[in-house]
Amino acid sequence: MKSDGEKTVMKAAVYEGQESIQLRQVNMPALPQGGLLLRVKACAICGTDVRTFHHGHRSRQPPWIIGHEIAGQVIQVADSVERLKAGDRVTVAAAVPCGKCRFCVRGWRNMCASVKAHGNHYPGGFAEYMAVMPEVIEQGAISRIPDHVSYDEAAITEPLACVINGQELLNVSLGDTVAVIGAGPVGCMHVEVARARGATRIIHLELQASRLEQARAFGADFYINSDQQEPVKAVHEITDGQGADVVIVACPSREAQEQSLQMAAVRGRISLFGGLPKSDPYIKFDSNIVHYKEIAVYGAFTSSPEQNQSALSLIAAGRINTQALITHTLPLADLVKGIEIIERGEGLKVVVNP
């Protein structure tokens, strides 16, 4: 056992209600039976953390430690844990499936009916230490980080896994033309995953000029500023009037979701990857396009432990430009500053180092 094990308090950024996250001294988590204790080294800020900060979240009753894009070092393991030991560098998946429900049995582990999530059901990663429960280990929701991958890079595993889930549903494959709407971190990762899966022509669309400029690091074939060019027309021009085989809406925009139908080719597949505000999630949906062109519309929600493993191996193989993706690293005390950076659209991934 390391000296960390003798500490009784730790620093944590505690969500104390809407618009309030405070740096506090809190009790160290105890070593769970059959689980382990993690020294959190990196926890990236997710869009859902930003929403929780402003609007609350039904599974996150304050005071609570949020954060679910986590990488850290194991400092203590329960006697029964065989696969991991103190000193191991690991990343944990946000969502931990039960492995037993109808959806888990069908292999849809991201859809688990009794899923438990870090930052929701378990305290999250915006703290110096975190307990990892036995089911996380049993369900394979914890992976060892290869030596050449940094903690900051490994913290990108979870959002990347969600992107992989979206593209597995779409079956993005060799020869596809893929249009990605939105050049936030998720949109940029979609471009790279589409390329890794064999898409031959990738069109990246974004309203904000500075974001589009930033997105050039991720290697799409065409960049469209939707503020200056009519996006549907632009996609049709690039594709000789055919439209895109796959359209991924990676932004919470009603207009973009409506445009996605008009951008899709015959038998096109669409992913409504970003959710709309709960208060008004309705769009004008031209069902005749779906009917005549045999369009398929998919959702996408969280990721499975397998997809987290795929994401980590993609990062380890150097297939993700993590250097361009991680635009900011901040200490724990600056979590709210990080949230504001994301809101202003100034950065892509903001990683907190507790």
CB-nearer residue toward Zn ion: 49 or 176: 49
Alpha-carbon gap, residue 230 to 129, rounded angstroms: 49
CB-nearer residue toward Zn ion: 97 or 184: 97
Task: Give the nearest distance from C-beta 49 to Zn ion in angstroms.
Answer: 8
Alpha-carbon gap, residue 55 to 14, rounded angstroms: 15
Number of residues that bind Zn ion (CB under 5 A): 7
Among 104, 178, 249, 348, which residue interacts with Zn ion (rule: CB under 5 A)? 104
CB-nearer residue toward Zn ion: 52 or 73: 52
Among 97, 184, 243, 347, which residue interacts with Zn ion (rule: CB under 5 A)? 97
Q: Which of residues 143-162 bind Zn ion (CB under 5 A)?
A: 159
Task: Give the nearest distance from C-beta 55 to Zn ion in angstroms.
Answer: 16
Task: Give the nearest distance from C-beta 72 to Zn ion in angstroms.
Answer: 16
Alpha-carbon gap, residue 267 to 245, rounded angstroms: 7
Task: Give the nearest distance from C-beta 160 to Zn ion in angstroms.
Answer: 10
Task: Give the nearest distance from C-beta 296 to Zn ion in angstroms.
Answer: 25
Q: Which of residues 26-65 bind Zn ion (CB under 5 A)?
A: 46
CB-nearer residue toward Zn ion: 46 or 232: 46
Give, for 246, the enclosing helix (H) or strand (E): strand 244-249
| Residue 70 binding Zn ion, by CB under 5 A | no
Within a 13 Å sphere around the CA of 308, how many CA atoms are in the beta-carbon half? 29
Q: How many helices (H) and strands (E) does the chain have?
A: 13, 17
Task: Give the nearest distance from C-beta 133 to Zn ion in angstroms.
Answer: 15
Task: Give the nearest distance from C-beta 253 to Zn ion in angstroms.
Answer: 19
CB-nearer residue toward Zn ion: 10 or 43: 43
Among 13, 42, 43, 112, which residue interacts with Zn ion (rule: CB under 5 A)? 112
| Residue 101 binding Zn ion, by CB under 5 A | yes
Alpha-carbon gap, residue 269 to 343, rounded angstroms: 30
Burial 175-214 (b: 16+ CB within 10 A, else e): ebbbbbbbbbbbbbbbbbbbbbbebebbbbbbbbeebbeb
Instruction: Please identify which residue in the block is written with the tokens 């597949």.
Output: 269
Within a 13 Å sphere around the CA of 266, how many CA atoms are in the beta-carbon half? 3
| Residue 295 binding Zn ion, by CB under 5 A | no
Residue 187: both structure tokens together: 């949109």
Stretch that binds Zn ion, among 100-108, 167-175, 182-190, 339-347 (CB under 5 A): 100-108
Show Cβ contacts of residue 240 under 8 Å, excluding neighbours closer than 6 positions: none
CB-nearer residue toward Zn ion: 268 or 354: 354
Stretch that binds Zn ion, among 70-78, 90-98, 226-234, 318-326 (CB under 5 A): 90-98
Show Cβ contacts of residue 300 under 8 Å, excluding neighbours closer than 6 positions: 162, 165, 166, 169, 271, 272, 273
Task: Give the nearest distance from C-beta 90 to Zn ion in angstroms.
Answer: 17
Alpha-carbon gap, residue 247 to 26, rounded angstroms: 45
Binding residues for Zn ion, rule: CB under 5 A, are 46, 97-98, 101, 104, 112, 159
